[in-house]
Structure 1
Amino acid sequence: MKKFDLNIDRMLENWDAFHAIREIIANALDEQILTGTREIAISRDGDGQWRIRDFGRGLRHEHFTMNENQEKLDHPGLIGKFGVGLKDALATFDRLGIETRIRSKFCDVSFDRSEKHDFSDVITLHACISDPSDPVFVGTEFILKGCSNEDIEKAKRL
């Protein structure tokens, strides 16, 4: 496992869970539009975890950096453009205690708060990147534990 520092030490205070979930749904919809793949899936599994999945190209660790995405900038019908929203969503989930995992064919990702490299007095949110549990997985799946049905429904309405 490798840790990718998301450089988030203070948690976003003005978002609720449904704002963060809306961001994940918006990213999945953008990927659907960009790749022409089938509709995204939002479901609740037998353990009460919510799963938001697209059937696109799959998330890579590089997606945790904030930068302008030229592909998204060139496509006027998309919601996101810069990659800021994903980190905001992850910070919100962390602040609210919503356990978040991500699966793609490139990696499995979980999250923790740990020391910033060479600065033991600064604790930041890190993406814990592991080899993929399913190297032929199609798309990206966010697995959320601890959010409510109401949060999901509010997010869908946005």
Structure 2
Amino acid sequence: METYGQSYSLSEMRRIGMKKFDLNIEKILESWELCHAIREIIANALDEQLLTQTKDVCISQIGNAWIIRDYGRGLKYTHLTQNENQEKIDNGNVIGKFGIGLKDALATFDRKGVIVTAKSKHNIIRTEQSTKQGFHDVKTLHAVIKESHESNFVGTEFELIGVSERDIDAAKNFS
């Protein structure tokens, strides 16, 4: 069993098929609470549901983890870059447009000590603080990317460990 919270050497990461993707975030959004970050994940899932006309987003609790799942096309590591999404810009009914909210949410989860796993047929993504390549005195948030071997997995599932039912309810109640 792999533990994402531990540090891996570059050779170990290559051996088990993992890569780091620098999110280029130190500290931001100090005023954000967990409900703001959760709302971003829910908003992305709702946008994907709307764009793909798939079944309703599911939010459930399994043990100590909260699961937010859509049934769309699946998150890819390339979605972690800030980029105008023409599909979303052309659709006036979606919430997000630029890819900033997901990174903000991941940064908030990291700052608040929430363990996040995002799973799709494309990747399994977790986060960790790591030194910036070439600048060992600067630590930034990195997404740790592992290729998924579940080619039949539909949509994107976010597992959040360290959030409460109150956080989830507050996120659902944002307008």
Q: Which TM-score applies when normalising by structure 2?
A: 0.88
Larger Rg: 2
> In structure 2, how many angstroms separate the alpha carbons of the residues matched to 1:90 and 1:75?
25
Given the alignment of the two structures, is residue 123 of structure 1 paired with residue 134 of structure 2, yes or no?
A: no
The letter for the 2-side match of 1:30 is: D
Name the SS of the counterpart of 1:150 in structure 2: helix
Q: Which runs of 5+ in 1 are unaligned?
A: none
- How far 1:131 sits from its partner (Å)? 1.4
Q: Once the two structures are aligned, what percentage of the paired residues are identical? A: 57
Count of aligned residue pairs for this structure pair: 157
What is residue 122 of structure 2 aligned with on the other side?
A: 106
Find runs of 4+ consecutive structure 1 residues off by over 3 angstroms: none
What is residue 34 of structure 2 aligned with on the other side?
A: 17
- How far 1:11 sits from its partner (Å)? 3.4
- How far 1:146 sits from its partner (Å)? 0.2
Give RMSD over aligned pairs: 0.7
Superposed CA deviations along residues 101-158 of structure 1, whole A, max 9, x for unmatched, are 1000001011100000110001000000001142211000000000010000000011
What is residue 30 of structure 1 aligned with on the other side?
A: 47
What is residue 69 of structure 2 aligned with on the other side?
A: 53
Name the SS of the counterpart of 2:118 in structure 1: strand
> In structure 2, how many angstroms separate the alpha carbons of the residues matched to 1:93 and 1:135?
27
What is residue 109 of structure 2 aligned with on the other side?
A: 93
> In structure 2, how many angstroms separate the alpha carbons of the residues matched to 1:143 and 1:133?
18
- Check the 8 A contact 1:108/1:133 in 2, yes or no: no
Change beyond 3 A, Cα 1:44–1:133: farther
- How far 1:12 sits from its partner (Å)? 2.0
The letter for the 2-side match of 1:97 is: G
Name the SS of the counterpart of 1:143 in structure 2: strand
> In structure 1, how many angstroms separate the alpha carbons of the residues matched to 2:116 and 2:56?
22
> In structure 2, how many angstroms separate the alpha carbons of the residues matched to 1:127 and 1:12?
18
The letter for the 1-side match of 2:31 is: N
> In structure 1, how many angstroms separate the alpha carbons of the residues matched to 2:131 and 2:149?
27
Superposed CA deviations along residues 7-58 of structure 1, whole A, max 9, x for unmatched, are 0011320110000000100000000000000000000003x10000000000
> In structure 2, how many angstroms separate the alpha carbons of the residues matched to 1:133 and 1:12?
34
> In structure 1, how many angstroms separate the alpha carbons of the residues matched to 2:31 and 2:87?
29
Given the alignment of the two structures, is residue 78 of structure 1 paired with residue 94 of structure 2, yes or no?
A: yes
Q: Which TM-score applies when normalising by structure 1?
A: 0.98
What is residue 12 of structure 2 aligned with on the other side?
A: none
